[in-house]
Structure 1
């Protein structure tokens, strides 16, 4: 299995450009160190804004103005990435560059999967080490953050706020507070 991944990596690097090779090289450490997550040696840190959203997704403290609602949405966007209502941003990359990025991600995913498959009883190790529970906690925090962001944008629309305190498509009809 590992030999197949290494062969795939070498063929991919030979066919791809220098950009892909450097991306794979840079991401190789994270792909190979995946078992550290399984043994709960390395843990993904949950951002504070997501922990706050998890504790109280409908908290209305300090949300008196559109500016404060927008600031909170921006904090959530930084932790979660852009919302689904956000238009795709053209970052100026060419189609060939995006294809190279996709090839690099595919190679790293193949390496990560091969390393994970190498661990016998991986699911039990994840359960016993607490990694599975931590992974569920991370996903729960992400879900709470998404819920909070949706709530804030709805609140922003109700108060006639402009984006980012409201969905990207919303245009306020009168002066916002």
Structure 2
């Protein structure tokens, strides 16, 4: 109960500081935080993008990757599913420190609400195992890892073929202006 009160306090701080972004983030996330037990009972599942399932099936597949443009297209598909790679510089989104602090408070409030709601489930670990939710979570993590491995492999392949980013890491510069196609 204390964590729920903590979550409500953080929620009030996040929404009361005046950031439209934080208030919107909390408003959009409260539903997901409150319905988190649906994940435990395997009534709601996280979607696994097709590109990650394909990467899990064969992360080192080189079919149809004979040009830099096709390698880049595949890396972009993986970026869309996974978010930016670790070699990408952080984007300066123009937010000020106070706005980032409000966003962090909003995330903390949502985490506290989610934890409070799921703490009421007795035998939660067993329910997750029996319902298949635990297995699905492992499948999601496996697909994410395979997608990351594939993206790294593709960027290495792009460097080998002298491709410009995004078919190679963002810091890589092809050896000549007319890089390989």
TM-score bracket for this pair, using the shorter chain length: over 0.9
Q: Is the 8 A contact 2:11 2:105 kept in 1?
A: no
CA distance in 2, matches of 1:6, 1:72: 40
Task: Look up the match of 1:8.
Answer: 9
Cα distance change on mapping 1:3 and 1:109 into 2, 3 Å: closer
C-alpha distance in 1 between matches for 2:82 and 2:11 = 33
Distance 1:172 1:8, change over 3 A: same
Runs of 4+ in 1 over 3 A off after TM superposition: none
Q: Distance in 2 between matches of 1:64 and 1:14?
A: 51
Q: Deviations over 1:92-139 (max 9, x none)?
A: 112211111111101001101111111111000000000000000000
- Residue 80 of structure 1 corresponds to 82
CA distance in 2, matches of 1:94, 1:75: 30
Distance 1:7 1:155, change over 3 A: closer
Question: TM-score of the superposition, structure 2-length normalised?
Answer: 0.92
Q: Does 2:10 match 1:28? A: no
C-alpha separation in 2, matches of 1:77 and 1:67: 15
Q: Quote the Cα distance in structure 1 between the aligned partners of 2:109 and 2:94.
A: 24
Match of 2:58 in 1: 56
Could you tell me how far apart the structure 1 residues matched to 2:15 and 2:50 are?
Answer: 42
RMSD of the TM alignment (CA)?
A: 1.5
> Which range moved further: 26-35 or 13-22?
13-22
Residues 5 and 114 in structure 1, CA contact (< 8 A), matched pair in contact too:
no
Matches within 5 A, 1:1-177: 1=1, 3-5=4-6, 7-9=8-10, 11-13=12-14, 15-19=16-20, 20-174=22-176, 175=178, 176-177=180-181
Q: Which runs of 5+ in 2 are unaligned?
A: none
Please give the alpha-carbon distance, in whole angstroms, between the structure 1 residues aligned to 2:47 and 2:91.
27
Number of residue-to-residue matches in the alignment: 177
CA 1:42–1:137 in structure 2 vs 1: closer, same or farther (change >3 Å)? same
